[in-house]
Structure 1
Amino acid sequence: MQLNKLIGAAALMGMAAAACAQETVVRIGHSGPLSGSQSFAGKDNENGARLAVEELNAKPITVGGKKLKFELVSEDDQGDPKSGVSVAQKLVDGGVKFIVGPYNSGVAIPASRVYSEAGAVVATVGSNPKITEQGYKNLYRINASDTQLGGKMALYAAKELKLKNVAVVDDRTAFGQGVAEEFKKQARVSGLTVAGHEFTNDKASDFTPILTNLKAKKVDAIFFGGYAPQGGPMARQMKQLGLNAKLLGGDTICAPEMGKLGGDAVGENVLCAQGGAILDKAASGADFKAKYKKRFGQDPDVYAASFYDGVMLYADAMKKAGSVEPAKVGAEVAKNSYKGVAGTYAFDEKGNMQQSPVTIFTFKNGQPVPLTSY
């Protein structure tokens, strides 16, 4: 009897081993600010990636005769360049070869060297043009660049809002400087007067001196190159000072966090540019929003769909390559096109999206509401 039990146990172990042999584990790394003032964005991005991983595991794909099992390895880079490099080293040392993130341009620029040296494939939403100008292979930007975000916000300000006199404030981060310079460049080309360019930082909370100076210059709008944790208080202080100018920005202020921090000072006076088409009008946008809300109990924020698409982009490339080797998967990403929720991912030789529509948003009841895409 005991012998039969042992034989049975051995058989079960053999079956389990055989099953494991038919499965390949693919680890997807996520790097983003999971703590601190930008944690709302980092967790939203992580949720987008997690949703994709869970869907892929619910309906496994087969590559090289083996089912793929995806695992998400998420790390907090704190939105800090030094921490981002440490996170990159930790992920690649752990054998993670496919990365979604970093979220911040200032993190993506130095961390991309670590990923490149390890032969990893990276899909980032960092928008500073410098990211893809470093010449690293298998580094892809899966959203609009600062040139598109800042430039199209300036075009909208000139053509649709009919503004004349604007000012720029940036937080001195790689993202903030980059998007502000692109706005300023296009604003001047479009005939706007740039009355001033002021500077702050991504930890500031009091903008009164800057805003008082700009009020004296009678500006129609202020373009803020920075993030929602500063954008919300800035809008509130503009109202307190009686500065009746519009507050413009890039994708990082297109978030409910603006409404939470700015209260009734954030409304139709605030406009922002975000990469991608209007999600509600995208073919699979409504379905994604419903799945996300069911899983996480809230609506997706700015880039949840992009991080979801990044994971799905990798899975699609793995199927096409018939391999999970990073070099082969990266080659498929480079030469093919993938239609995701937030856009169609086809890349130029530098790793930028060939076409990335930009949507202009305003705010109603504290929530970003899309106006138009172009």
Structure 2
Amino acid sequence: MSISSRALPLAVLALLLAGPAAAQTEVRIGTASPLSGPGAHQGKDIENGARMAIDELNAQGIAIGGQKVRWVLVPEDDASDPKTGTAVAQKLVDAHVAGVVGHLNSGTTVPASKIYATAGIPQISPAATTPVYTQQGFRTAFRVVANDHLIGRTLADYAVRTLKARRIAIIDDRTAFGQGLADEFAKGVRTLAGPAAIVSRQFTHDKAVDFNAILTQIRGKRPDVIFYGGMDAVAGPMLKQMKTLGIEARFVSGDGICSERLPILAGDALADDKVVCVVAGGIDGKQQAAYDAFVERYRERFKLPVETYAPYAYDAVMVLAQAMRTAQSTAPATFLPALAAVRHAGITGAIAFDAKGDLRNAAMTLFTYRQGKKVKLQVVRGR
């Protein structure tokens, strides 16, 4: 049916009036993490956490700068490989993302950060702990977890003061994350007054499956504690081989092994209180209810348990959104100052950044495993 010439002005007026209300802008948020290889379960955890945030933001019908926003997730697989990580970073830049949540591994986070910095795109890592990441001076680099300085010192303090370790062996996987964390742990042990000594320093690699040579050498040193810098895909088989060799030492590590999958990877080698690990974040009191609710929503949505990093990825997306709302702009150059000054009550705790982009007053949570379940020991704050 045609519109008469008399009705045309009214139709045009109606379209004009409806135009601003219907105006919509698309905001793309990238995630970069390993979606293939041994770390794929941790990388998918990041993507899933970010996706939950994206869906919740879309459900809220948020308007920024007078336009309703449609949030879109752009996930990429960096395969835990630095070269792939930089290619993925450029791909996200070319896709005109407004921000990136990633990467997981320190070894991919650092080289990728240079590409995001050149493009002026904010990057919030939900997992990378190497101090190098935020020491480069990039105004685009942030993280929502504690760094290795704090984690290494905290684990050293716990090993020496609480576990009463006197003879400590250290193994790392030679990655930027694993070696960096092991170095910080070693520094922490050496700065503590007392009888604790590092009796062996060994290394493997992040895809290793045979540890008999280094574990046999370590067994001869009779350690109380073995510290491992690396991820759960290697820690699980290592624990099995420790049991085979009769090594009774406690196993201490960072958030790379502190996953829900470790009991599956370690099997019956994961005895009660055998492992102590730390996650670079911490909540208690009233915050615990919000975190528990997130975990339940995650399980219902994906039919999987939260591994480690999903809550941090979720918070990272929400922090980006809050900065955009504060600045009333989705342009990175405009909302970056608001991101640097953000104050956000996240499900992982209070989020605010220092001048380098590190988390202020960072909390860490110590865990162990009992009956195959991860059990919280205590929340500590960085000193």
TM-score norm. by structure 2 comes to 0.92
Q: How many equivalent pairs are there?
A: 370
Report if aligned partners of 1:255, 1:367 keep a CA contact under 8 Å in 2. Answer: no
Residue 319 of structure 2 corresponds to which residue in structure 1?
313
Unpaired runs of 5+ in structure 1?
A: none
> What is the CA–CA distance in structure 2 between the aligned matches of 1:123 and 1:272, rounded to whole Å?
23
* 1:238-253 equivalent positions in 2, closer than 5 A: 238-253=242-257
Report if aligned partners of 1:279, 1:342 keep a CA contact under 8 Å in 2. Answer: no
Residue 341 of structure 1 corresponds to which residue in structure 2?
347
* 1:144-223 equivalent positions in 2, closer than 5 A: 144-190=146-192, 191=194, 192-223=196-227
1:275 aligns with 2:280: yes
The one-letter code matched in structure 1 to 2:183 is E
CA offsets 1:119-171 (integer angstroms, 9 cap, x no match): 10000121000000111112101101011112111111111111111011000
> What is the CA–CA distance in structure 2 between the aligned matches of 1:329 and 1:123, rounded to whole Å?
14
> What is the CA–CA distance in structure 2 between the aligned matches of 1:138 and 1:337, rounded to whole Å?
17
> What is the CA–CA distance in structure 2 between the aligned matches of 1:41 and 1:95, rounded to whole Å?
25
Report if aligned partners of 1:128, 1:174 keep a CA contact under 8 Å in 2. Answer: yes
The one-letter code matched in structure 1 to 2:95 is G
Indicate the SS of the match to 1:352.
Answer: coil
Give, in angstroms, the shift of residue 367 of structure 1: 2.9
1:331 aligns with 2:337: yes
Residue 43 of structure 2 corresponds to which residue in structure 1?
42
Range with bigger deviation, 133-142 or 275-284: 275-284
> What is the CA–CA distance in structure 2 between the aligned matches of 1:314 and 1:113, rounded to whole Å?
19
Give, in angstroms, the shift of residue 24 of structure 1: 1.2
CA offsets 1:200-244 (integer angstroms, 9 cap, x no match): 100100001000000000001110000101000000000000011
Report if aligned partners of 2:31, 2:74 keep a CA contact under 8 Å in 1. Answer: yes
> What is the CA–CA distance in structure 1 between the aligned matches of 2:277 and 2:185, rounded to whole Å?
12
1:224 aligned to 219, 225, 228, which one? 228
Give, in angstroms, the shift of residue 101 of structure 1: 0.4
Indicate the SS of the match to 2:306.
Answer: coil
Report if aligned partners of 1:259, 1:365 keep a CA contact under 8 Å in 2. Answer: no
> What is the CA–CA distance in structure 2 between the aligned matches of 1:304 and 1:86, rounded to whole Å?
23
Change in CA separation of 1:197 and 1:17 when aligned onto 2, cut-off 3 Å: farther
- Alignment RMSD, CA only? 2.1
> What is the CA–CA distance in structure 1 between the aligned matches of 2:347 and 2:16, rounded to whole Å?
39
Give, in angstroms, the shift of residue 366 of structure 1: 2.6
Give, in angstroms, the shift of residue 301 of structure 1: 1.7
TM-score norm. by structure 1 comes to 0.94
Percent of matched pairs sharing the same residue:
42
The one-letter code matched in structure 1 to 2:200 is G
> What is the CA–CA distance in structure 1 between the aligned matches of 2:165 and 2:115, rounded to whole Å?
44
CA offsets 1:322-351 (integer angstroms, 9 cap, x no match): 111112222111123111000211111111
1:254 aligns with 2:258: yes
Change in CA separation of 1:4 and 1:128 when aligned onto 2, cut-off 3 Å: same
1:121 aligns with 2:154: no
Change in CA separation of 1:62 and 1:221 when aligned onto 2, cut-off 3 Å: same
